[in-house]
Amino acid sequence: MPDIQFTLPPTICQISRLIWQQEGKAFLVGGPVRDLLLNLPCPDWDIAVDFGVRENRLLVERKMAHLLQKTANHLKGKFVFHRQFLTGTVTLPDEKKIDICHTRRESYLKPATLPRVAPAAIDDDLVRRDFTINALALELTPDGTTLIDPFQGRQDLNHRLVRILHPKSFIDDPTRIFRAIRFAIRLDYRIESGTLYLLRAAVKERYPALLTPERILYELRCILAESAALKMVEALLRENVLKSCWTHWHLDRTLLSGLKKLARQGATPKELFCYLLSFLPINEKFPITTEERDTAWLLRHLNPLRRRLMRAKRASTIYHLLKPVPETLLLIMMKLEKRAIQKKCRLFYHQLRFIKPETSAASLINCGVPSGPEIGRLLRRLHNARLDKKVHTREEEIKLLKRWIGKGC
């Protein structure tokens, strides 16, 4: 019996119709159902489909591929399909993404590894999930919607509790330790006492250390993108979660004070992430960009640059010191460093990096300078003169050049 009416976006209704046309059952699952019940805006839509074919894996894969293709065509988007996990993502023309998965059962061969997946019914699909408040589905039928709530998730939403579904949950998937903290703080819920006991036991047993850096960093990125990121990091530290990820890692007190200062000044998730990264034992397995790696490294070895910046008087010196610095680091320095350094970073960021000489190599050749390395040297000198406000216009540049050339420069 349909029991709850929600207003769903037209795209979701269109996808449901495509699923029914292929004689599948359509469900909204996990986060979106939680957010709908809480009346919160829903950033991502996760759809599950059950084609009712259990044994014939190949047929399920074929039907999924067909559905994804049809959905992408219908919505003028693109899709990717991860056969192994029976999951797909459709990217709409406005870059919004919708995940479409087959309802499935998961089995973990070893703790903290990715699970093996087999097609199954919606109940099996909900059993494999992290928390009762996420183990919810909304069946979408032509007559309306029906809530499927086998673990009393709705009751836990009312009681404001984050609760796992079974005692091995954190062992099967230690990323749930990060997620429990993230949801509890985001929603201002409590972690239910039995769940908290098992979370602490899993941390003590160092299950997070079994996770790949990729999975740990994914969770940290998610946390740092939240508006209550700081409280979440505090909780991770209080519960020793980061310590349990890396053997010899010790908390440096400046981590929290730095993050606090950055957050107060409106730092972006990327800046917060790079700052946190600079305290982690980065190795070559960390899936981070070159900019993130360089920023984190420089943050740890900032003293020589700090000293040179403190001494720098001329704009051109400041320019050359800061030019090789990654943009994210510069933005962090503008928020964290002492005033004198902040000022120089701001000068570079807002003005100096845009200043260029107006004279080109071609004009130098016109002035009679023979082509070769001398051209580059003169252009660099001109650039410095422009940065240091010794010249302000193209005419003044030419005048200065003539003086240099006349002097045999």
> Among all chains, which residue has been given the structure tokens 């201002």?
188
Residue 135 vs 391, nearer CB to ligand CTP: 135
Annotate 360-398 with b (16+ C-beta within 10 A) or e (fewer): eeeebeeeebeeeeebeebbebbbbbbbeeebeeeeebb
Name the residue among 100, 160, 168, 135 with its Cα closest to residue 30. 135
Give the contact letters, 38-77, x = binds to ligand CTP (CB under 6 A), - = no. Answer: ------x-x-------------------------------
- Inter-axis angle of helices 269-277 and 213-224, nearest 10: 140
Measured distance CA(93)–CA(100) in Å, rounded: 17
- Inter-axis angle of helices 254-264 and 269-277, nearest 10: 170
Distance spanning both ends of the chain, measured CA to CA? 89
Question: Shortest gap between Cβ of 388 and ligand CTP (angstroms)?
Answer: 50
Give the contact letters, 302-341, x = binds to ligand CTP (CB under 6 A), - = no. Answer: ----------------------------------------
Which part of the chain contacts ligand CTP (CB under 6 A), choosing from 71-79, 126-134, 236-244, 260-268?
126-134
Cβ contacts of residue 297 below 8 Å, gap of 6+? 278, 282
Using the rule CB under 6 A, is 270 a contact of ligand CTP? no
Among 175, 316, 328, 359, interactor with ligand CTP by CB under 6 A? 175
- The residue count for binding ligand CTP (CB under 6 A) is 11
Q: Are strands 161-162 and 190-191 parallel, antiparallel or unpaired?
A: parallel
Which part of the chain contacts ligand CTP (CB under 6 A), choosing from 168-176, 190-198, 364-372, 382-390?
168-176
Measured distance CA(377)–CA(400) in Å, rounded: 14
Question: Shortest gap between Cβ of 58 and ligand CTP (angstroms)?
Answer: 25
The gap from C-alpha 111 to its chain's centroid, in whole angstroms, comes to 25
Residue 24 vs 174, nearer CB to ligand CTP: 174
> What is the CB neighbour count within 10 angstroms for residue 305?
18
Using the rule CB under 6 A, is 102 a contact of ligand CTP? no
Which part of the chain contacts ligand CTP (CB under 6 A), choosing from 17-25, 128-136, 150-158, 227-235?
128-136
Using the rule CB under 6 A, is 176 a contact of ligand CTP? yes
Question: Shortest gap between Cβ of 46 and ligand CTP (angstroms)?
Answer: 6
Residue 175 vs 316, nearer CB to ligand CTP: 175
Binding to ligand CTP, residues 129-148 (CB under 6 A): 129-130, 134
Question: Shortest gap between Cβ of 133 and ligand CTP (angstroms)?
Answer: 8
Question: Shortest gap between Cβ of 136 and ligand CTP (angstroms)?
Answer: 8
Cβ contacts of residue 163 below 8 Å, gap of 6+? 131, 132, 133, 156, 191, 192, 194, 195
The sign one gets for the Cα dihedral 362, 364, 365, 370 is negative
Which residues bind to ligand CTP, rule: CB under 6 A? 30-31, 44, 46, 129-130, 134, 173, 175-176, 179
